[in-house]
Amino acid sequence: MGQGHAVAHGALDHAELARLGLTPADLLDFSSNLNPFGPPPGVRAALAHLDVAPYPDRSCLALRHALAAHHNLAPAQVLPGNGANELIHLLARALLAPGATALVIGPTYGEYAEACRLTGAHVVAWRAHEANGFELDPYAISDIVEVERPRLTWLCAPNNPTGADLAPDELCALAEQCATHDGLLVVDRAYAAFVHNPSAATLDQNAPAGLLRLHSLTKSYAIAGLRLGYLLGEPALIERVAAYQPAWSVSSAAQAAGLAALADELFLPTTMPRLWAASDELLAGLRALGLSVWRGDLPFLLVHTGDAATTRAALLARGCVVRDCTSFGLPAWVRVAPRQPEENARLLAAWGS
């Protein structure tokens, strides 16, 4: 994010690189959880033929209909946004009042808590622990909901950075419990497409009214530079959040790319097995170096090095960027997102040198 932003993120920080005398072309970025085999060819073709002169469709009509069909929902249940990050902040603004309580299930993405703090809400947390394999314990989470009675509960499932997940029926039960205390559950599904063996059940059909689902197309289809996410929920909640969204929030390029990505039914089934194979090879290579590595239900890895900041700096000097997990409250860990096999080999060589 920009200078002065309160939340640390992965990906390349161009200001940092300029201070170090580096350029993005010098580096391999293992800090961003993106599909390394994208974007789909149809996305590039759609962008090449895009007329950038007119304003975007501020209703995102075609994209909303395509997303609704993809999830077997009504268009009124879909709100596209300028990345899931915009929607996180819109949710907090629309649904929290100053002094309200928000619960964040961690360790996880920092924008949930930051968006809530900006509204004047009181943020409380429940954290999974390394000793328990970063397991998301639905009973412990239920207990804290009973005590705190939050207006909003934020849960990334499958989780960034640990890869921990909960089953759809567990998420629905938690949403129903939140609703008994006039609360809502926001489940961030940005990484759902990456899960190795996904459940046949979904959160889309028969979801409780108080269950909001965040999705992102930018990670699974490798279009992060275009910023495209969307929110699913009951029409009344979607309308309430949409009231806080600026006009033309989603660019014409993002809308065209989203439509092209959704139209490609072979891309994800083809690339996800390749990504998991790359993850398997990288996992084995890191362990062969004597490193302690954790992998949950997602292909990216947590590597225990004892000092994340020092590890990141050393690898940066060798042309590789990993994610320092200190901002997640995990200062002994770095997160590594697999890339293509030849690039993973370069990271292993840099780590072992």
Contacts of 180 (CB under 8 A, 6+ apart): none
Report phi then psi at 217, rounded to 5.
-95, -10
Size of the chain, expressed as the number of residues it contains: 353
Answer for the pair 226, 254: CB distance below 8 angstroms, yes or no: yes
Q: What is the pLDDT of residue 11?
A: 65
Q: What is the pLDDT of residue 277?
A: 98
Helices 168-180 and 138-148: crossing angle, nearest 10°? 10
Dihedral (C-alpha) 167, 298, 222, 184: value to the nearest 10 degrees?
A: 30
CATH class of 14-30+267-352: alpha beta
| Residue 290 CA, distance from chain mean position | 29
Domain ranges of the chain: 14-30+267-352, 41-263
CA atoms within 13 A on the CB side of 23: 1
CB under 8 Å, gap of 24 or more: what pairs does 123-132 form?
A: 124/148, 124/150, 127/329, 128/159, 128/162, 128/164, 130/294, 130/330
Q: How many angstroms separate the CA atoms of 188 and 167, rounded?
A: 13
> DSSP assignment of 231-279, as one string?
EE--HHHHHHHHTTSPTT-S-HHHHHHHHHHHH-SSHHHHHHHHHHHHH
- Per-residue tokens: 286: 């890191």
Answer for the pair 231, 240: CB distance below 8 angstroms, yes or no: no
CA dihedral sign of residues 28, 31, 32, 36: positive
Q: How many angstroms separate the CA atoms of 204 and 38, rounded?
A: 26
Q: How many angstroms separate the CA atoms of 341 and 326, rounded?
A: 27
| Topology classification of domain 41-263 | Aspartate Aminotransferase; domain 2 (3.40.640)
| Residue 86 CA, distance from chain mean position | 12
Q: What is the pLDDT of residue 19?
A: 79
Q: How many angstroms separate the CA atoms of 199 and 154, rounded?
A: 21
Per-residue pLDDT of the chain (353 residues; tens, 9 = 90+): 334 457 777 667 777 777 777 788 889 999 999 999 999 999 999 999 999 999 999 999 999 999 999 999 999 999 999 999 999 999 999 999 999 999 999 999 999 999 999 999 999 999 999 989 999 999 999 999 999 999 999 999 999 999 999 999 999 999 999 999 999 999 999 999 999 877 766 788 789 999 999 999 999 999 999 999 999 999 999 999 999 999 999 999 999 999 999 999 999 999 999 999 999 999 999 999 999 999 999 999 999 999 999 999 999 999 999 999 999 999 999 999 999 999 999 999 999 98
Q: How many angstroms separate the CA atoms of 331 and 158, rounded?
A: 21
Q: How many angstroms separate the CA atoms of 295 and 141, rounded?
A: 22
Q: What is the pLDDT of residue 200?
A: 61
